[in-house]
Amino acid sequence: MSSVVAAPSADAGAAASGRAGIVWRVRRRIASHPDALVALALAALIVAIAFVARSGSVLSRTTLVELLLTLLGAAIVAVALVARPPGRRLWGGLTLLLFAALAVWTALSIAWSVQPSDSWEAANLTLAYLATFAGALALAQVAPARWRGVLAAVVLASVVLCAWSLLVKSFPSISSLDLYARLRAPFDYWNAVGLMAALGIPGCLWLGARRDGHAALSALAAPALGLLLVALLLSYGRGPLLAAVVATGCWFAIVPLRLRGAAVLATAGAGAAIVCAWAFSNDALTKDGTPLDVRADAGHSLGLLLLALLVVLLLAGLALSFAMSRSALAPPTRRALGATLLAALALVPLAGIGALAASQRGLTGSISHGWHQLTDPNAQQPANAPGRLASVGGVRARYWDNGFTIWREQPWLGVGADGYATARKPIQPDRLRVRHAHGYVPQTLADLGLVGMGLSVALLIAWLGAAARATGVRPRRRWGAWLLALARTRDARLRPAARPRQPQTPERIGLMTLATTAIAFGVHSTVDWTWFVPGTAVTGLVAAAWVAGRGPLGELAPSRAAGPRRRATMHARAALAAVVAVAGLAAAWTIWQPQRSAQANDAALAALADGQAQTALADAQDAADRNPLSIDPLLTLAAAQRAAHQTAAARSTFERIVRLQPANPESWLRFGEFEAAEGHPQRALRLLAAALYLDPRGPEAQSAYAQAQQRAAQP
C-alpha cells in the first residue's frame, strides 16, 4: 500500500524536477546570450513606440509613449546610480546637462508662448526624450559590453518597420483607405519610413562587414539592407535619401571595413535597384488614388518580387560572408581594390558635374538654378511620384522662410515651444495648415529663439566631442601646434608627433556605426520635422546617448574605495537615485495632465450632446482645472453655460479665453460667433476682425466675418 502511495509522489517529484531543469536551461541560455536579449527587448520597444505613437500628432497616443519613456528612463537611471562601479567617471555628463538645459528652456517658454497649451505638450515630449537619452547613457555606463545588442536592436527595429510598410504596400487591403502611393505605414508619414530605413543602413553595413561573429548571421545583412533600400526609395523621400547618403559616406570614411562594406552594399544595392526600377515603371504602384483592386494586383506582384529578392540576397550574402570569413586578401590586393573603389567613388561627382556642364544651363547656371529652387518660397511642390527624388525645390522652403520671419519678430526668446503653427497664420501666403517648420533650425529659432538655438548648438558640439572621445576619430596631429611650430622653424624635429593609432577593436567599430546612425537622424531632422516623431527620434537618441556615455575604450578599471568612504558614496547614490525616481514620477504626472483634461472634455461634450447641462458643466470645469493652459475645455464650458441659460457666465468664460490666448485666432473667432448668436452683430464684427487679422487666410474666419457684416447691415 505504501508503494502505491509513494509512486504518484515520485512521479510528481520527477515532473517538478523536469520543469525546474527546463527553467534552468532557459535561464542559462538567456544568460549566455545577453546581447540577443538586449536586442530583442530594445527592438520591441522601438517597434511598439512606432506603432503606438505613429506620427506623434495624436495626444492620447503620444502621451502613452511619453509616460513609458519617462518612467523607464528614470528607473534605468536610478538603478544605474546604485549599480555603477564606484570611481568610474561619468562620461557624457556635459551632453546630458545641456540636454536638460534645453528641456528646461522649452518648459520655461510656456510663460511667453503664443500657444501655451501646445508648448506644454512640446515640453512633455522634450522631457520624455531627455529621460530616454539619460536612460541610454546610464546603460552605457553600467553595461558597456552590450553595444552589440543596441546596434542589433536598431537594425532589427528598422527592418521590422520597413518590412511592415512594404507588406502594407503589397497587400493594400490592410489599409484600404490609404490612397497614397508612397509608403506611410506605420508612421502615417512617408519621410519617417524613409528615415527609419536610413537609420538601419549603417548597422546593416556593420553586420555584413564585421570580422567577428558567425558568418551565417552576417549573411542576413544583404537581404536586410536590400529591404531597407527598397523602402527608402519607395518612400520617395529626398530628406531620408540625403541622410542615408551622408551616413553611408561617414561610415565608409571612418570604419576600416570599407571593402567588406562595399561588397555588401553593392550586392544589396543591385537587387534593390532591380525591384525599384520595376516598381517605378508600374503606374498602379506610383500614382495616388489608384483603385484598390488595381493596387492589390500590382501589390501582390511586388510582394512576390520582394520575396524573390530576399531569397537571392540571402544566398548571395551566405556566399559572400563565408568567402570573406575563410580567406583574407593580401595587403597589395586590398590596397589595389581600395584604390579602385576610391576611384569609382570619385567618378560619381565628376559624372554629375559633367552632366550639369552638358545641360542647357551649363554648370554654374544649373547650380544657381538648383539653389534658387531649393530656397524659393514660391517653388512648386513636386508630385508624389518617383521623379521627386531628382527634384530640388518644394514647399518646404516656404515653411523655412516663415520660420525665419517669425524668429525676426522675437529673436531672443521666440514665440514659445511649438508656437510656430499659431504664429505662422498671420503671415502665411497660402491656406496650408502645417504644425511644424519641417526643419530643426527654423523651428527652434521661431519657437525658442537664439537662446534655444544656442543650447542646441552647444549640445551638438558636446556630443561631437563625446563621440570623438569614444570612437577615437580625431585628427592625428595637433594642427594648431604644428602650424605654430612650422611658422617658427623648419626643423621637423620640433614638430609635434602624430597621435598613435588606436586599435580597431570590434567595439570601436560598433561605436562608429552607432555614431553614424545618430548622424543620419541629425541630418534628416535638419530638413524635416521627424524630431517630433517618437519612433524615429527614440532610435536616434538611443544611438547618440550610447556613444556619448561610453567614454574612451582604453579607460582603466576603477579602483575600489575604502570601506567608510565607499559606504558614504553608496548612501549618496541611493539618495540621488530616490530623487531621480521621485522626479520621474512627478514628470509622468505632468505629462499625463493634458490627456486627463482631454478625457474630461470628451466626457463633457458627450454629456452636452445628451442634454445633461449640469454634468457637462462639472466635467468641463474638471478639464479646465487639469489643463489651465488650453482653451478647449473653456470652449466646452461656455457651451455648457449657454445650454444652462447662463449667458453672462458664458460671456465671462469667453473673455477668459481671449485673455488666456490672445494670439490665437480661435479665441476671437469663437467669442465673435457667440456674440453674433446672442444678437450683437457690432460686437461680433469687432471680435471677428481680430480673428481675421490673426488668420487672414482662414476660411472659417472669413466666412464668419462676412456673415457678421450681413447681419450688421440689416436694420
DSSP string covering 235-269, please?
TT-HHHHHHHHHHHHHHHHH-S-HHHHHHHHHHHH
Asked whether residue 316 falls in the same domain as residue 203, the answer is: yes
Q: How confident is the model at residue 489 (pLDDT cuts 50, 70, 90)?
A: very low
pLDDT at 14 (0 to 100): 54
Which of 294, 327, 360 represents a domain boundary (last residue)? 327
pLDDT at 175 (0 to 100): 80
Contact 472, 554 (CB under 8 A): no
List, in sequence order, the alpha helices (H) in 391-439. 396-409, 420-424
Do the domain assignments include residue 388? Answer: no
Per DSSP, the residues of 290-334 read: --HHHHHHHHHHHHHHHHHHHHHHHHHHHHHHHHHHH----HHHH
Contact 551, 279 (CB under 8 A): no
Asked whether residue 241 falls in the same domain as residue 298, the answer is: yes
pLDDT at 361 (0 to 100): 79
Q: How confident is the model at residue 6 (pLDDT cuts 50, 70, 90)?
A: very low
What is the span of the domain harbouring residue 520? 52-142+407-475+504-552
pLDDT at 473 (0 to 100): 85
From CA 657, how far away is CA 294, in angstroms rounded? 50
Residue 220, φ and ψ in degrees, nearest 5 = -70, -15
**pLDDT tens digits, 97-106:** 999 999 999 9
Asked whether residue 176 falls in the same domain as residue 320, the answer is: yes
Asked whether residue 274 falls in the same domain as residue 153, the answer is: yes
Do the domain assignments include residue 68? Answer: yes
Contacts of 694 (CB under 8 A, 6+ apart): 425, 426, 663, 664, 665, 668
Answer whether the bond into residue 186 is a cis peptide, omega within 30°. Answer: yes
pLDDT at 483 (0 to 100): 44
Asked whether residue 74 falls in the same domain as residue 119, the answer is: yes
Asked whether residue 319 falls in the same domain as residue 176, the answer is: yes
| Residue reference for cell 506611410 | 184
Q: Which three cell numbers, joined as nine digits, stand for 41?
A: 527587448
Q: What angle do CA 129, 594, 615 make, to 5 degrees?
A: 165
Asked whether residue 126 falls in the same domain as residue 181, the answer is: no
Do the domain assignments include residue 462? Answer: yes
Q: How confident is the model at residue 479 (pLDDT cuts 50, 70, 90)?
A: very low
Q: How confident is the model at residue 19 (pLDDT cuts 50, 70, 90)?
A: low
Query: Residue 118: pLDDT above 50?
Result: yes
**pLDDT tens digits, 490-510:** 444 444 454 556 678 999 999
Do the domain assignments include residue 559? Answer: no
Q: How confident is the model at residue 482 (pLDDT cuts 50, 70, 90)?
A: very low
**pLDDT tens digits, 418-464:** 999 999 999 998 888 899 999 999 999 999 999 999 999 999 999 99
Residue 203, φ and ψ in degrees, nearest 5 = -65, -35
Q: How confident is the model at residue 614 (pLDDT cuts 50, 70, 90)?
A: very high
**pLDDT tens digits, 29-82:** 555 689 999 999 999 999 999 999 999 999 999 999 999 999 999 999 999 998
For 572, the 3-state DSSP assignment is: helix
Q: What is the mean pLDDT of residues 250-255?
A: 92
List, in sequence order, the alpha helices (H) in 327-419. 331-358, 362-375, 396-409
Asked whether residue 201 falls in the same domain as residue 109, the answer is: no
pLDDT at 32 (0 to 100): 67
**pLDDT tens digits, 646-674:** 999 999 999 999 999 999 999 999 999 99
Asked whether residue 90 falls in the same domain as residue 209, the answer is: no
Asked whether residue 148 falls in the same domain as residue 126, the answer is: no
Q: How many helices (H) and strands (E) does the chain have?
A: 28, 0
Number of domains in the chain: 3
Q: What is the mean pLDDT of residues 315-331?
A: 81
Q: What is the mean pLDDT of the chain?
A: 88
* Residues across the chain: 715
Considering only residues 23 and 579, tell me which one the structure prediction assigns the higher pLDDT.
Answer: 579
List Cβ<8 Å contacts ≥24 apart for 75-78.
75/135, 75/581, 75/584, 76/134, 76/135, 76/138, 76/139, 77/131, 77/134, 77/135, 77/138, 77/577, 77/580, 77/584, 78/577, 78/578, 78/580, 78/581, 78/584
Do the domain assignments include residue 89? Answer: yes
Asked whether residue 264 falls in the same domain as residue 204, the answer is: yes
Do the domain assignments include residue 670? Answer: yes
pLDDT at 613 (0 to 100): 93
Q: What is the mean pLDDT of residues 301-324?
A: 93
pTM of the shown model: 0.92
Query: Residue 2: pLDDT above 50?
Result: no
CATH assignment of the domain containing 654: 1.25.40.10
pLDDT at 496 (0 to 100): 47
pLDDT at 302 (0 to 100): 97
Do the domain assignments include residue 347? Answer: no
From CA 419, how far away is CA 446, in angstroms rounded? 8
Which of 327, 347, 367 represents a domain boundary (last residue)? 327
Which of 491, 526, 552 represents a domain boundary (last residue)? 552
pLDDT at 30 (0 to 100): 53
Asked whether residue 313 falls in the same domain as residue 448, the answer is: no
Considering only residues 17 and 445, tell me which one the structure prediction assigns the higher pLDDT.
Answer: 445
Burial of 479 (0-12, 13-18, 19+ CB in 10 A): exposed
Do the domain assignments include residue 173? Answer: yes
Q: How confident is the model at residue 22 (pLDDT cuts 50, 70, 90)?
A: low
Q: What is the mean pLDDT of residues 461-469?
A: 96
- The closest of 171, 190, 162 to 292, measured between CA atoms, is 171
| Residue reference for cell 546610480 | 81
pLDDT at 353 (0 to 100): 80
Q: How confident is the model at residue 600 (pLDDT cuts 50, 70, 90)?
A: very high
Q: What is the mean pLDDT of residues 186-192?
A: 95
Q: Percentage of the chain with pLDDT > 70?
A: 89
Query: Residue 570: pLDDT above 90?
Result: no
Query: Residue 486: pLDDT above 50?
Result: no
Contact 72, 133 (CB under 8 A): no
Q: What is the mean pLDDT of residues 615-635?
A: 97
